[in-house]
Structure 1
Amino acid sequence: MRRYVLWRLGQALGVLWAAYTLTFFLLALLPGDPVSAMAGAGLNSGPVDPRRLDELRTQYGFDRPVLVQYVTYLGQALRGDFGDSVTTGRPVTETIADALPQTLQLAAVALPLAVASGTALAMAAAWTRRPRMRQLLLSLPSLGICLPAFWVGLMLVQFLSFRIHLFPAFGNSGPAGLVLPAVTLAMPAAVLVAQVLAKSLLTALDEPYVHTARAKGAGRERVLLHHVLRNASLPALTVVGILAGQLTANAVVIENVFSRNGLGRVTTDAVTVQDIPVVQGVVVFGALVFVLLNLLVDLVYPLLDPRIVTSGRRSPA
């Protein structure tokens, strides 16, 4: 078990390093100058003195070679210091911390909603004995995957906000303002959970232990809930861990659609003016959430199936 945990920790650190490095060099390859972009975005009134721009480039280290910048910033990041925002001058960690509660609030509603609805759909497809009904239920995830999240959000706003005025369309307006963005954010995750779990449930229903349980008199509901669900949930659990880590990235689109002040808005504003420290901080934070959740899933796996821990790696699901 110790070897298994160390292997997963090493992978997590590798993902964080790769995310930071890839983001840094992609941003470094962008045309233009972050300091000039800041001045041209209306954040400074009137013409800017070229000498002042040179001073800002020196202050933020943009006058140094790219590799020197990378080593310097990586060393600071290892100490938890991602520098200051080019546009506001505030520490990146404070900028993220101020926006984080709104995004976490949205994710905390969207993830349970996605898991509950996806599990319910998969269980209904596995429970029904009607082939046509099962086929209809199994086709819903494929349909949901084809619908872009931003389009779903716009349709929800159009019908539930503008037409029947049931929920507020935009902004951070209390619990009611969470409903539409949470549903929009949850839908892509829900259909993937339903698709993976339904396939696993239907496969597990044909296993010999299921026939044995039925021969002993266990009903379909008991077999499904007490025998099949635990074994079939392993692939879906992996999907949930991945989707939970992706919620931060998906929130960039959803929060802009619904004009919410969260990490999505911070990311969009930072990319617009090439605020490299903020973009890197958000990307690393998203990667950190991703690897921590997947590490948690990896550690739960052996508890559900001890056979997984064999050589320090997860056996194929």
Structure 2
Amino acid sequence: MNALLTRLGGLVTVLFGISFITFAVTHFAPGDKALAIAQARYPGEMGFDAEILEGIRDEFHLDRPFISQYLHWLVDFLTGDFGRSYSSHSKVWDIFAGNLEETFSLAITALTLGLAAAFLLAGLAVWRKGSLIDRFAILLASVGAAIPSFWLSILLILLFSAHLGWLPAYGTGTLAQLVLPTVTLAFWVMSSQTRLLRSFLLEAYDQPFVETLRLRSVSEREIFFSHVLRHALSPALTMIGLDLAGLIEGAVIVEIIFARSGLGSLLAGSVLARDLPVVVFLVMFFALTYVLINTVIDLVQTFTDPRHLAGERNAV
């Protein structure tokens, strides 16, 4: 219980700090925010009357001190009022919800494919340690870790779209348009998890219980799936969670390159349009996702740790 309260307290503190910094950065950014809102509302207009700008300042409380604006925003945020977009005047939550599905489906699909490839490569590498398969897995994972996502995206577009013409290079809505972005992110997951899983599996094979099981004539298949893999998955769980959070955030670049709708494109467009309510909300969402996943993983590992379970039994 104490561990849970400590983690939750840390989560709240981190999110509070991120919200303050994000709001401060957007507040003190150069330029007249009232003018930016007016330009977003009335595209094509070259000049605005002072009455219009004053009305916008009053509507969004821009004439108040920084602390007053922050506290007003924080109270609204905590009560579920995330504000309205400067550009479309639509509710920020409605805009967010309309783009979440695309980013989430891309991230989950990439994570599933990347993990499947990583488990296969790591398993074959450990099964044939030192062989060509092992060296190929290490080489492929190293290459994947060295290639940035934006560079791999461009290479895939040049090969499969521009040269071969097999797949579309941009857009959203069809399965074909999902392939290249998914492969880009899945390749990053595969390269990250293959090296880690291989290391964790080799470490598990070095444990004394493996030799004990072999002396008891337990098959290698049962040793791997029932004991070694379970032992290796405990530390790998942390990195899998981090990769999921990283995929949701890393989709920003991939969605921009492939011109996909989603949170990444929404964030980029909102920054360029200086749509601050949307920008602040998305930053808070990415921060909450990252911190929450880390907190959940830490709690799961804490409460499933054999030492923790043994301590609870002794306490009883």
TM-score under structure 1 normalisation?
0.89
Q: Which moved more, 1:22-31 or 1:253-262?
A: 22-31
Aligned-pair identity (%): 35
1:1-317 superposed matches below 5 A: 2-39=1-38, 43-51=42-50, 52-302=52-302, 304-308=304-308
CA contact (8 A) 1:149 1:188 kept: yes
Structure 1 CA distance, aligned partners of 2:129 and 2:239? Answer: 27
Q: Which moved more, 1:147-156 or 1:166-175?
A: 166-175
CA contact (8 A) 1:127 1:221 kept: no
Deviations 1:249-307 (A, max 9, x none): 11111111111111111101111122111011111122222233333323432564332
Q: 4+ residue runs of structure 1 moved beyond 6 angstroms?
A: 309-312
Aligned with 1:44: secondary structure? coil
CA contact (8 A) 1:201 1:229 kept: yes
The offset of 1:178, in angstroms, is: 1.1
The offset of 1:310, in angstroms, is: 8.5
Equivalent residue letter for 1:238: T
Structure 2 CA distance, aligned partners of 1:173 and 1:250? Answer: 20
Structure 2 CA distance, aligned partners of 1:302 and 1:187? Answer: 30
- Structure 2 vs 1, CA of residues 303 and 213 (structure 1 numbering), >3 Å: closer, same or farther? farther
Deviations 1:104-141 (A, max 9, x none): 12122112112212222222221114345423322322
Aligned with 1:21: secondary structure? helix
Structure 1 CA distance, aligned partners of 2:141 and 2:41? Answer: 45
Equivalent residue letter for 1:195: R
Deviations 1:158-217 (A, max 9, x none): 111222222221111322211111111222222222222211111111111111122222
CA contact (8 A) 2:41 2:88 kept: no
Q: Which moved more, 1:66-75 or 1:129-138?
A: 129-138
Q: Which moved more, 1:7-16 or 1:75-84?
A: 7-16
Structure 1 CA distance, aligned partners of 2:49 and 2:202? Answer: 67
Equivalent residue letter for 1:215: L
CA contact (8 A) 1:256 1:265 kept: yes
Structure 2 CA distance, aligned partners of 1:128 and 1:147? Answer: 26
Structure 2 unpaired stretches of 5+: none
Structure 2 CA distance, aligned partners of 1:264 and 1:310? Answer: 45
TM-score under structure 2 normalisation?
0.90
Deviations 1:37-78 (A, max 9, x none): 345569522223141223212221222222221111111111
Aligned with 1:121: secondary structure? helix
Equivalent residue letter for 1:230: R
Structure 2 CA distance, aligned partners of 1:115 and 1:309? Answer: 29
Greater relative CO (CA pairs within 8 A, separation 6+): 1
Structure 1 unpaired stretches of 5+: 313-317
Equivalent residue letter for 2:263: L
Q: How many residues in Structure 1 have an aligned counterpart in Structure 2? A: 311
CA RMSD of aligned residues (A): 2.3
Aligned with 1:150: secondary structure? helix
CA contact (8 A) 1:38 1:273 kept: no
